Amino acid sequence: MKVGIIGGGIGGTALAWALLQKGIEVAIFEQADAFGEVGAGVQITPNAVKAIKGMGLYDQLLDRAFYPQAIVGRNWQSAAENFRIPLGQEFRDHYDAPFIHIHRADLLELFATGLPAGICHFGARCTGVEETATGARASFADGSAFEADVIVGADGVRSAVRGSVFGETAMRWTGHMCYRALVPTGGVVDHVSPDSSFWMGPNAHVVTYYVKGGEMVNIVAVAETSEWVAESWSTQTSREEMLATFEGWNGALGRLFADVDEVFAWGLFDRDPMESWVRGHVTLLGDACHPMLPFLSQGAGMAIEDALVLAEALAASPSDVPLALSRYEAERLPRTARVQLEARERGRTYHLPTPEEMAARDAEYARRAREEPRTTGINTDWVYDYDPRAFAAGLRAPEEA
Ligand SMILES: Cc1cc2nc3c(=O)[nH]c(=O)nc-3n(C[C@H](O)[C@H](O)[C@H](O)COP(=O)(O)OP(=O)(O)OC[C@H]3O[C@@H](n4cnc5c(N)ncnc54)[C@H](O)[C@@H]3O)c2cc1C
């Protein structure tokens, strides 16, 4: 079995690593000249940490991680807590994994460093994929082509594989944009708590957390806007614009924003869940098939879960690719669709506009958090509970029985 992966982001490199662990031949094609990630943080929740454990990279992940103490919901002006989910030992024991923060480049490196150079093809921009009699063929901008038993499109929100095999569909402009910045602090500082803090205000919210072992603070500040903003990691904006947008918010945020050097603007787009993402010997993974808003911190996590499940499915039935891909889709599509839609809904609840609506929401958070902080604070138990390793156990069970 030979698998071709289009796209060397977090999802593509995770899949390449997971397939190699199963002894499956892999080639990975990335349009850029090298693997690379932007300077930003990412929250990796227990469900995705379990997938990384399943790939044998747990210790290496923890070496690069920052452990937040809690997920905390805060009032945009007073900083008063309206919920707190402790992330200590009890949380880790319950989910069999911690909740961590990591720099995106460190996460990518986790998967990419172990890939043999000979399987990585750079400067390879895929223009389309088609089925062949026994597998699939990917074509590239330089006129070359590659055939394999399976081709996986892990080429992100604007996936060429998706477009060529499943048809082009328009992305939905959500009317949200986010300011993204990393602030070097040299360590944990007084005005930024060592938590995953969600500051919720009218028509906007801000998320702050540490990465790089506490050396830097990652800022994702989401605002509503009537002007269209490009979906891009490289559109720069100014500190002044960010400060003006969040004028009147808590002073701790103002102090943090004042230390920002570079700010990027990211327009938020999403798509409705797909009905199917398998066609013959071609499938998709990560943002290529389920792009989502970042409000549940799950896009990279879902791509990593996909990678483990797809590798397990292909390893379990290497001579029956359609069976493997249908098992992959059946396991992953309903879950990722639910996460996509729930993330969209968070965009509404985090941004309630009036003081009355915000007070009612916060009272409800507080009530749930008092009852059982872990399970009901912001109701993410169903996301974190999932264990992608159970999929492999389920595949083995009938044969063992
Ligand atoms: C502001 C923000 C905050 C976020 N925070 C979190 C978070 O806290 N936790 C979380 O889990 N997720 C988070 N996400 C989501 C996460 O960043 C994405 O879901 C994740 O990066 C998707 O990975 P991917 O590999 O599917 O796609 P990508 O990272 O987009 O990788 C696709 C790769 O394919 C390559 N490529 C594209 N087209 C071609 C082509 N035609 N030929 C060859 N190569 C191609 C690209 O160069 C790229 O390397 C956040 C997203 C945003 C915008």
Check residue 90 and give left, alpha or beta (phi > 0: left; psi -120 to 50: alpha): alpha
Q: Ligand 1 within 6 A of 4 CB?
A: no
Q: Is the pLDDT of residue 400 over 60?
A: no
Q: Ligand 1 within 6 A of 297 CB?
A: yes
**DSSP 8-class letter at 66:** B
Contact 42, 304 (CB under 8 A): no
Q: What does the pLDDT average to over 144-168?
A: 96
Q: Is the pLDDT of residue 94 over 70?
A: yes
pLDDT of residue 47: 98
Residue 161 Cα: closest atom of ligand 1: 41
Q: Ligand 1 within 6 A of 125 CB?
A: yes
CA of 394 to the centre of ligand 1 (A): 29
Residue 160 Cα: closest atom of ligand 1: 41
2-170+271-400 architecture in CATH? 3-Layer(bba) Sandwich (3.50)
pLDDT of residue 372: 82
User: Given the structure tokens 């796209």, which residue do they identify?
Assistant: 7
Q: Where are the domains of the chain?
A: 2-170+271-400
Nearest to 274 by CA among 329, 321, 313: 329
In 95-171 the beta strands, taken as DSSP E runs, fall at: 100-103, 120-122, 126-131, 136-140, 145-148, 150-153
Q: Ligand 1 within 6 A of 329 CB?
A: no
CA of 156 to the centre of ligand 1 (A): 5
CA of 335 to the centre of ligand 1 (A): 19
Q: What is the pLDDT of residues 210-256, one digit of tens each?
A: 999 899 999 999 999 887 777 666 788 899 999 999 999 999 999 99
pLDDT of residue 231: 67
Lowest-pLDDT range of 123-132, 152-161, 361-370: 361-370
Say how many Å lie between the first and final Cα of the chain, rounded. Answer: 26
Rounded CA separation 172/170 (Å): 6
Write down how long the chain is: 401
The pLDDT > 90 percentage for the chain reads 82
CA of 300 to the centre of ligand 1 (A): 7
Rounded CA separation 224/167 (Å): 30
- The residue type at 234: S
Contact 165, 282 (CB under 8 A): yes
Residue 155 Cα: closest atom of ligand 1: 34
Q: Identify the band that residue 37 occupies on the pLDDT scale cut at 50, 70 and 90.
A: confident
Q: Ligand 1 within 6 A of 105 CB?
A: no
Take atom 27 of ligand 1 and give the residue whose Cα is closest.
156
CA of 37 to the centre of ligand 1 (A): 9
Q: Ligand 1 within 6 A of 294 CB?
A: yes
- Sheet order of strands, 2-6 included: 120-122, 25-30, 2-6, 150-153, 282-284, 278-279
Residue 302 Cα: closest atom of ligand 1: 11
Active-site position among 95, 179, 209, 328: 209
CA of 80 to the centre of ligand 1 (A): 33
Q: Ligand 1 within 6 A of 31 CB?
A: yes
Higher pLDDT, 254 or 369: 254
Q: Identify the band that residue 401 occupies on the pLDDT scale cut at 50, 70 and 90.
A: very low
Question: Is 58 part of the annotated catalytic residue set?
Answer: no
- Sheet order of strands, 196-201 included: 81-86, 70-75, 196-201, 204-211, 216-224, 172-184, 263-270, 236-237
Q: Which of 13, 42, 336 to mutate to test the pocket of ligand 1 (most atoms within 8 A of CB)?
A: 42
pLDDT of residue 18: 98
Q: What is the pLDDT of residues 286-304, one digit of tens each?
A: 999 999 999 999 999 999 9
Q: What does the pLDDT average to over 27-47?
A: 93
Q: What is the pLDDT of residues 175-207, one digit of tens each?
A: 899 999 999 999 999 999 999 999 999 999 999
Q: Ligand 1 within 6 A of 12 CB?
A: yes
Q: Ligand 1 within 6 A of 154 CB?
A: yes
Nearest to 219 by CA among 190, 260, 269, 185: 260
Take atom 3 of ligand 1 and give the residue whose Cα is closest.
294
